[in-house]
Structure 1
């Protein structure tokens, strides 16, 4: 058995996003396998409810890290303090490469480690020139120093090989078995559930970032006959891009964030079309969750989304506003809809269940233990 440290998330239980959800599932699994598991967490009230330096959660030690800085500098400080806290002889799983230069500390202290390389972060439109240089530098540092690289998508695996000359292990993202089941939804309560019955609205769930193609989606809505209302979930007050979209599209129902997973999945299932505009990155968690929930997917046409969905049979694709507007005005027949939803769920069963993903991480930990000796 091993002493395993997990680095690179803001905290568990998950209140943030993809990596946090992954670690929320992975860390207790590793603890149940007999490993001594520590997850570094932000020392803020949503995560640290007691103010202690560390505590136990589902068999996992949560070690809380305080930082003096904010923004990107705070992230760098948080990561550095996390790296420095890993003892010699442990093994580490790192999620993201934003501070890959700090892996040198692990190498110097005999800590074999694996890095989940996430998406191609430096390509995201939100980053300025200096941030992109920083991210590319750290991407190379992470790839050079890691004992094992993890790619969450075949396109990321190909990128690592062709651009960085590095082999990697392909491990995607997961969903729970019970996410594929309809279950009893009668007890769910939310204003949106009361407002929108089955197949009465189109739905977008995304952060307000240009690479998520929300501007294209809303342009398509304006071009369409507006057969159904357009509902957009997410905090669109966090940046200028989001605020401009809200101001430009008064006919769109911007409903804020919905963080209750059963309610969110029920909204996905109820939507007439679930529009997934993410155009950069690897295996997107929200896309898999929507597939499992029984949504009818209309995804931006790129190699990342096509592989996750398994091709044309499990949903629709769009390249721009014109073809998305056509989908909005001409949804598939009930028979085609049912067939696509069933194919998307089967794709989840074949590729993305947590039990498969966790078994692959078990193999990574075993590989790190071999590298230690």
Structure 2
């Protein structure tokens, strides 16, 4: 298999220092690099000249002078795809930004396309109406043109089953790169809040992550401390949130932390993890918290309930979050932590995730036809699909991401 060439497209790059797709790429390279000839496309905008190494853990790194996120991600992904056509046997594309070019790849080449859907991106509030329209079309073309598509959550699989009559393959994220770390005296000196109980949250500062709701709740709970890590200065929304809530004595807002140990210290020593994401599929920050054995209070959308198997604590508004923080006993939180840890040990390890990706790559290279729903299901309308409970659907609002 070493002579089989695989291109990983759609990440900021390696070494990972941004988000879930980058962490995924890093662990795929780590676990599969000895078996496959892997190339990873990287954004030169995210790495200094000194950081732009040619290889990493056996993978070849290729740099493009574009940002991997925002509007430039379309150019970044498309150029990566075109370049990969000249050498790769299979293209593992993370996200749908370059989806519009994939029908042409299928029409004019025999390259195999494996697409990982990054949640239902076109529903995110951060995009303009034109942006959402493009992402909706790009998603359609990506799913229709791929030889196989990957959903990181059963809810996304149900979504593609109904919308595209295709059978997505569920592969989630690993979390066993996280470590429980006891705080040292030096840690407590750097972060004095480690000396007392606190709730913790880490995420990108975007409306979809319900930052405002979480901060409002803790502004009403002066006896409970919240530590929230995020990129506050990267957007007007982040700066507005920081200005509005940054002066509350029980709310500690920290800038992004990329050092794994430092982040693990803060997560490991909190008494509860708050997960406010309302978009996407299986959020890496959630499975990492679960693997650390933290009790989880999550926003009650289907993606989060699927990830936690319906066994976490859930909120959908400020009052519900306040009630959970005030009313849950230490015993209940400890029990929740044990349940979250058991789920993570069973489902969210990188060896398991890498093995699933390897299986999918082999399947894509070997076969030319994409798996679809059986003819019986493909002719069903949405109502009938829901009646049959294909996957785990229970209601027609399962795909609506609450705002």
> CA 1:217 to 1:89, structure 2 compared with 1: closer, same or farther past 3 Å?
closer
How many Å apart are 1:104 and its aligned residue? 3.1
Distance 2:69 2:351 in 1: 35
The CA RMSD over aligned residues, in Å, is 2.3
Q: Which residue of 1 aligns with 2:44?
A: 43
Instruction: Please give the per-residue CA displacement for 1:151-208, whole angstroms capped at 9, x wherever unaligned.
Output: 10000000001012221111111122x63x64x6456954676412265222221212
Contact 2:39/2:59, CA 8 A, preserved across alignment: yes
Distance 2:318 2:183 in 1: 36
Is residue 181 of structure 2 the alignment partner of residue 167 of structure 1?
A: no
Q: Which residue of 2 aligns with 1:196?
A: 193
The SS at the match of 2:33 is helix
Is residue 224 of structure 2 the alignment partner of residue 228 of structure 1?
A: yes
How many Å apart are 1:310 and its aligned residue? 1.9
How many Å apart are 1:280 and its aligned residue? 1.2
Contact 1:38/1:60, CA 8 A, preserved across alignment: yes
Q: Which residue of 2 aligns with 1:4?
A: 6
How many Å apart are 1:8 and its aligned residue? 0.7
Q: Which residue of 2 aligns with 1:29?
A: 31
Is residue 346 of structure 2 the alignment partner of residue 350 of structure 1?
A: yes
Is residue 330 of structure 2 the alignment partner of residue 329 of structure 1?
A: no
Distance 2:261 2:94 in 1: 26
The answer for unaligned runs of 5 or more in structure 2 is 370-403
> CA 1:27 to 1:188, structure 2 compared with 1: closer, same or farther past 3 Å?
farther
The SS at the match of 2:162 is helix
The SS at the match of 2:173 is coil
Contact 2:42/2:62, CA 8 A, preserved across alignment: yes
State the TM-score, normalizing by the size of structure 2. 0.84
State the TM-score, normalizing by the size of structure 1. 0.90
Distance 1:258 1:124 in 2: 24
Distance 1:353 1:300 in 2: 23
| Residues 218-297 of structure 1: pairs in structure 2 closer than 5 A | 218-224=215-221, 226-249=222-245, 250-251=247-248, 252-297=251-296
| Residues 112-123 of structure 1: pairs in structure 2 closer than 5 A | 112-123=112-123
Q: Which residue of 1 aligns with 2:212?
A: 215
How many Å apart are 1:291 and its aligned residue? 1.1
Instruction: Please give the per-residue CA displacement for 1:19-60, whole angstroms capped at 9, x wherever unaligned.
Output: 000001102322212x111111112462652667xx121111
The answer for unaligned runs of 5 or more in structure 1 is none
Distance 1:357 1:48 in 2: 32
Distance 1:89 1:56 in 2: 17
> CA 1:339 to 1:74, structure 2 compared with 1: closer, same or farther past 3 Å?
same
Contact 2:150/2:169, CA 8 A, preserved across alignment: yes
> CA 1:171 to 1:256, structure 2 compared with 1: closer, same or farther past 3 Å?
same
Aligned length: 362
Q: Which residue of 1 aligns with 2:82?
A: 84
Contact 1:270/1:295, CA 8 A, preserved across alignment: no
Contact 2:68/2:76, CA 8 A, preserved across alignment: no
